[in-house]
Amino acid sequence: MPIDVIGETIVMFAPMTTWRGLINSDYRRWLPVTHNTPVISLHEGNTPLLRSDHLSSLTGCDIWLKVEGTNPTGSFKDRGMTVAVSNAAENGAEAVICASTGNTSASAAAYAARAGIACVVLVPEKAIALGKLAQVVRYGARIVEVAGTFDDCLRIARDLAAHHRVALVNSVDNQWRLAGQRTVAYEIVDALGDAPDIHSLPVGNGGNITATWSGYQTYAADGPAGRTPRMWGFQAAGAAPLVHGAPVAVPDTAASAIRVGNPATWEGAVSARDESRGLIRAVTDEQIFDAYRAVARHDGVFAEPASAVGIAGILDQRRKGRLAPGQRIVITLSGNGLKDLDASMGDGYTSTRTSASTADVAHALRLTD
């Protein structure tokens, strides 16, 4: 360790360590990669785990936010995509394909670009947030806008991957995606010293609750965790097939990222709920957008609407008297607010217009000497 001497005081400082992504981290041993696997990485992972003083004092619990929007393409999807695209590259894939409500497509397009592999994304027409589409455009993927739902897109992507030389990088049946997404649980346990009592997160296609739960199980069985949390998953009320126990033909919510009517990882999500003695419930769009505004306003985190579902769910459970105080809770904030500017601007905003004079600005702000 380098040593510096300032006056009589000896100062020791650790060299700044550089994070080089999940596959090049200590978590590599938990990932399905070999020394033959090319590492396709944008240095994803290692995201902030922030304590929310606001939510903690509101609930009497100890609440932490896992801010996944700081991943390279702005969502948790990068954790699985680095593994999936590295694997596709190892297998000589010339093209990858995915269906998406937006974030998976942005992530797939970025990692494919880095790997020099072609990428095709199938998205529901006019139904994904503009920032996500803008990412895909810039990364250079082939965009197919389907006149249908996300569920239609996924059905078609699976059909095409089964019959053509394109590798599917959706998390459904994709051990690489799921293995990468498990790392979020490892990071949380490493940061907090053990698993929390409850892990709350949004549920769309079901992959993330499945992977996060499996990460906690892996880390408890073979790693440093002494216990596992209860998994609390939340869906939007208009797109809550797992809550109703039946697919929803036309899912409807302004939280477009989780507008999914027939989750492909249905069994995994239900197992995560049941094995962890957790729950999967619905919250209204109004509750989602209240949480979306509050987490920005009080915690300084700009998360996209679907990301706020885990917060809305915790507050809903508390309101119903089903949240005992004193528990440690981690909430996944799955994506970055910058992806969906319409959601933010939809509220309108107030500003003050002035001339370009300091005196005018001071006057407008009622600043006196």
Q: Which residues bind ligand F0G (CB under 6 A)?
A: 75, 77, 100-104, 202-208, 257-258, 260, 304, 306-307, 334-335
Other beta carbons less than 10 A from residue 38's beta carbon: 14
**CB closer to ligand F0G, 142 vs 363:** 142
Taking each helix axis as running N to C, give the angle between helix 285-299 and helix 309-319, from 0 to 180 degrees, rounded to the nearest 10.
110
Query: Minimum distance from CB of 100 to ligand F0G (Å)?
Result: 3
**CB closer to ligand F0G, 62 vs 133:** 133
**CB closer to ligand F0G, 261 vs 335:** 335
Query: Minimum distance from CB of 170 to ligand F0G (Å)?
Result: 8
**CB closer to ligand F0G, 37 vs 181:** 181
Query: Minimum distance from CB of 178 to ligand F0G (Å)?
Result: 10
Query: Minimum distance from CB of 75 to ligand F0G (Å)?
Result: 5
Query: Minimum distance from CB of 101 to ligand F0G (Å)?
Result: 4
CA pair distance 205, 276, nearest whole angstrom: 19
**CB closer to ligand F0G, 229 vs 263:** 263
**CB closer to ligand F0G, 37 vs 288:** 288
CA pair distance 51, 39, nearest whole angstrom: 32
Query: Minimum distance from CB of 210 to ligand F0G (Å)?
Result: 8
Query: Minimum distance from CB of 353 to ligand F0G (Å)?
Result: 35
**CB closer to ligand F0G, 231 vs 258:** 258
**CB closer to ligand F0G, 37 vs 291:** 291
Query: Minimum distance from CB of 77 to ligand F0G (Å)?
Result: 6
